[in-house]
Each structure stands twice: as structure tokens, then as C-alpha cells.
Amino acid sequence: MQSSGRQAEAPGRGPRVLVVGGGIAGLGAAQRLCCHPAFPHLRVLEATARAGGRIRSERSFGGVVEVGAHWIHGPSQGNPVFQLAAKYGLLGEKALSEENQLIETGGHVGLPSVSYASSGGSVSLELVAEMARLFYSLTDQTREFLHAAETPTPSVGEYLKKEIRQHMAGWTEEEETKRLKLAILNNLFNVECCVSGTHSMDLVALAPFGEYTVLPGLDCTFPRGYQGLTDCIMASLPKDVMVFNKPVKTIHWNGSFEEASAPGETFPVLVECEDGGCFPAHHVVVTVPLGFLKERLDTFFEPPLPTEKAEAIRRLGFGTNNKIFLEFEEPFWQPDCQHIQVVWRDTSPLEDAAPKLQDAWFKKLIGFWVLPSFGRASQVLCGFIAGLESEFMETLSDEDVLLSLTQVLRSVTGNPRLPAPRSVLRSRWHSAPYTRGSYSYVAVGSSGDDMDLLAQPLPADGRDAQLQVLFAGEATHRTFYSTTHGALLSGWREADRLIALWDSQAQRPEPGSELGSAPGVPGSPRGWPHPFL
């Protein structure tokens, strides 16, 4: 596999570049590189049969539902996903309006249209609003510890609970109302778990929490599906760039690899696929999810990653947030209802309740969003659930999930004859073998520095062998982690890193080298050999 020989990398010939992963980070990197004449030899290796990664729109219930990414968070001029979506004509008039772009949400989820108690009956929306004001004022305070010398607690969750205990001292209502307040707050903790992609806010580090940046704009959706965006990016690529059903087994780097179709040339990287195919390359951009990296850390790179990068991967958080779609023949909610909150009585964020998952997994469910109607024949609710309960839900059958949630809805509405949903669809991001969860967060014991460490290319010194393995994906963006715009920006960042390297090399050809011509001229190295495709 290895041999000595002259290094194939030379400015006038154009390097071979591989992108591992066809999510929005990988597609963004590929689109950027394909626009530059120095990169005619580019392939995107995607493990599955489709592009988009954690952007996944499915035709179901007579319309399109988002199994993955749901909203553009902060749809405004500073958001590249919003800009691209607008350019491709994928957004509605309201989302494009200047008024929508100027709304400051602070990153907080809006109030529900109706709030149900688990025992039946509605919860006062005034009380819900009061608890939301308290909760979000406290979460805003957590951002103030970003540059503090020390923090009062290690985690966001512990800080919020400490502050809530202090506020409780001033509550003067009856015990039942106090318990209801705590139950509402428990729901808001679970909402924040969904937002952060974590099992518990006790796992989320307090000091770096304020580094996550919220862009202006009221979150918006894609009327015809989020995947329309990745489909447009993919359509802009040359037809032979995408290679599907090509899971990567091991990335061999810092080597000297030969290929029969390019005698005498050597490549510093060899990407070995699960099916035995091998792709030699000069540069590999790794865009796989952090959850996959965590699981395959010991086998995915040869030689293994430097200790500090491997430790950063271990320290960073990566959790699960799933959706459960329920289809009804007739809505049981009001026509103007957009968001149904479910408050579980006798729950409290101050108590570490740990009932058996099979008995109580559904209590982590935060409620349901009403999807735009796909016509009179289909009425759909979308529920969100995060953490270990969400991962347990993935192990259940559709029938079990449908039965549990039918009982929940009959209980909260107080209608024991409420018709059961006629079908269910759900995401299973933890079970997905090339994802292993939903998105990243900065866990206790880690910091934004770990995301920067993850983003650093290999080899680390970069003196003699530059940019062999580069890293992109939402978990490599220090301020926009967990978002599609963070993922897209990270792909552009790594493409620009490669472009800068080749532009600088093209400007200073080696003395006496016949390879010093401008990028894109005849004499470029051979393209990708067909047997590997």
C-alpha cells in the first residue's frame, strides 16, 4: 500500500480532494471547491443512498414532513442558509419579509397556544407565561458567565435550579399552585433539552453557554421541504461528484500511497471504504457527525488522531432530539392552534425522578406543534422528545408509540373516547448508524476551545505535508454549533482553507518545475479511476 515516490501534489495539476459525508457541510464544501479551477478532481463519498445528512424531508401524510432539521434559526441577512434558500426561491413571503428578519427571539421558544395538564384540563396560559418569563430571564443570565473567572456551578441546569430555589422563597400561592409552577418549569427544562440536544441541562457547561450566537429573525420553515436546499446545492455540482452508498471504514493519512492508474505518483491520504474500495487523495474533508466520530474514534483514522483532538471529541456533548408525527382524520385542537404544551403534574426540575423508561418515557415529551394542513384529509401533530427517553422511544414499535401517545392525549384532553391517530412517523437519529444522535453541545468539562481543536486540520504542524485531513460539520463551529448554518459555514471554511493553499502555491511555482503552470491547464493528473465508483 505504501511506497516511496515523488509527491503528486503540484499547483498546476490540481489535487484530488475527497469529501466524506454528503450533509450540508460536505455539500457546501464541494460546491465552493467546484467553483474553483484548481479542483477538477473532487468526490463526495456519502454512506447512504441520499444527500442531506441531518436535513431529511419525507413525503408523508399527503405532504412533506421534516424528519431532520425543521427551522432556519435566525433567518436574516447574516444567515447563509437563509440567503441560499432565498436565492433558490425556497421560502414564503412572510419569511422573506424585512419585518420577520428583524424580530429578536433571544433563541427562546414561543409560548404555547394551549397548555394541557397530564391529569386533564387546561393550564392557565397566564401562569405559563409567568414561568416562561422567569425561566428565560434565568437562561439569559447564564450567558453572562462567558468571560467570568469562575462560575457558581459547573452546568447550566444546576445554575437554573439554584436560582429557581431562591425565587421559590418568594412564592406565596397555595401548595397546589406552587407544584403546578414547578411542573411548568419542568416542561421548560425539557424544551431546553430539545433545543440543546441533550438528556439533561446538568450536562451542559455553564461557562461557554453564552458563546452560542443567536441571529435575528423569527424561525421559519421551508414550505416544500428543507431538503429542497440540499437538492439545489447538489444539482449545482458536476454529475459525477456524488458517490452514494459508499460508507468509509478508515482514513489512512500521513502516508505515501500509490495507485495503478497513476504510476510514480504518491498521495498522502488513502480513504478505505467498507466495500473494500480505496480512494487515494491529497486532501480529505471529513464532515461526519460528532456522534459517529465518537463511536468510531478508535478505527476511523490510521494513524489514530492526535491525543488532544481525540480528547476534544470525547469531551464534547452529542445528544438526541427526535420527532414523533401523529396523523389524525379530524383535529381535536382549535383552528388557530399552533403549539400544544403538555405539563406533567407532580414533576419538578428540582427532583431527580428516575422512573423506569418503559413506564414513563413519554413524560419527556414537551408537547406538539401543529403542522400546516396538507388538506382536509390529513391533520398532523409533531411532537419533540430529547435525551435517553428519546433514545428508548426508538427501540419501541410504531404500535407501542401510538398506543402510549393515544393514552397521553386522551388523558390530557379529558376525552377517553378521543380517536386514536391513524398513523405515526418518527425519527430515529440515535439508531442511525452514520449519525448516532442529533447535534452537538458544549458539555461540562469541555469548552469552545474543543470545537476549535476539532476543526484543526491534520497534520497538526502542517510544515511539510499541508492540509491532508480537514474537519467540518456543525460541531466544528464555535458559535453556531447544532445548526444548519453552522454546518454550511464550516464547509465553506474548509473549502476556503484549501483554496487559499492552492492559490498560494500557484503563485510560487517550484524553480525548474514543469508543473508550475496555472490551475486547470492541460496536464492535470488523471481523474478518479472508474473501478472505485
Asked, for residue 330, whether it belongs to a domain, the answer is yes
Structural domain includes residue 79? no
pLDDT above 90: percentage of residues in the chain: 86
405: closest CA among 378, 365, 356? 365
Same domain, 253 and 339: no
In a domain, 229, yes or no: yes
Q: Of 3-12, 418-427, 517-526, which one has max mean pLDDT?
A: 418-427
| For range 422-442, the mean pLDDT | 98
- Residue 441 in domain: yes
Longest distance between any two alpha carbons in the chain, whole Å: 88
Residue 141 lies in a domain: yes
Give the pLDDT mean for 343-367: 90
Structure confidence by residue, pLDDT tens digits, 154-188: 999 999 999 999 999 999 999 999 999 999 999 99
Separation CA 533–CA 530 (nearest Å): 5
Cell numbers of 367, please? Answer: 408537547
Residue where the block lists cell 509527491: 7
Q: Which residues of 371-404 are buried (b: 16+ CB within 10 A; e: fewer)?
A: beebeeebbbbbbbbbbbbbbbbbebeeeebbeb
- What is the model's pLDDT at position 441? 98
- Is 359 part of any domain? yes
Q: What size, in residues, is the chain?
A: 533
- CATH number for the domain spanning 260: value is 3.50.50.60
Greater confidence, 41 or 512?
Answer: 41
Cell 406552587 belongs to: 178
Give the pLDDT confidence score for residue 506 in this predicted structure: 81
Question: What CATH number does the domain containing 395 carry?
Answer: 3.90.660.10
In this prediction, residues 1-24 reach a mean pLDDT of: 66
Kindly give the residue spans of alpha helices, DSSP state H, lying in 385-435. 387-395, 398-413
- The pLDDT value recorded for residue 96 is 98
Q: Percent of the chain having pLDDT more than 70? A: 91
Residue 183, SS3? helix
CA distance 16 to 241: 12
281: phi then psi, degrees, rounded to nearest 5: -155, 165
CA 50, CA 324: separation in Å to the nearest integer? 22
Residue 199 to residue 389: CA distance in whole angstroms: 8
* pLDDT, tens digit, 9 for 90 and up, residues 385-418: 999 999 999 999 999 999 999 999 999 999 999 9
* pLDDT tens digits along 182-228: 999 999 999 999 999 999 999 999 999 999 999 999 999 999 999 99
Query: Residue 467 is part of which domain span?
Result: 17-60+222-317+436-505
Residues 308 and 235 in one domain: yes
Same structural domain, 408 and 465: no
Which pLDDT belongs to residue 377? 66
Res 10: pLDDT: 41
pLDDT tens for each residue of 118-167? 999 999 999 999 999 999 999 999 999 998 999 999 999 999 999 999 99
CA distance linking residue 430 with residue 391, whole number of Å: 6
The answer as to whether 431 is a domain residue is: no
Query: Looking at the structure, do residues 313 and 379 belong to the same domain, yes or no?
Result: no
Cis peptide before 40 (omega within 30 of 0): no
pLDDT score for 14: 81
Give the model's pLDDT for residue 507.
Answer: 80
Assess whether pLDDT exceeds 50 at residue 445.
yes
Residue spans of alpha helices (H) in 143-286: 156-168, 175-196, 227-235
Tally of domains within the chain: 2
* Residue pair 142/442 in contact by the 8 Å Cβ criterion: no
Q: Over 70: is that where the pLDDT of 529 sits?
A: no
Mean pLDDT to the nearest integer, 22-39? 97
- What is the arithmetic mean of pLDDT over 229-236? 98
Q: Are residues 445 and 498 in the same domain?
A: yes
Find how far residue 378's CA is from the centre of its chain: 29
Mean pLDDT of the residues in the chain: 92
pLDDT of residue 519: 33
Q: Is residue 5 assigned to a domain?
A: no
Average the pLDDT over 283-296 and give the result.
98
Contacts of residue 461, defined as CB under 8 A and 6 or more positions apart, other chains included, come to none
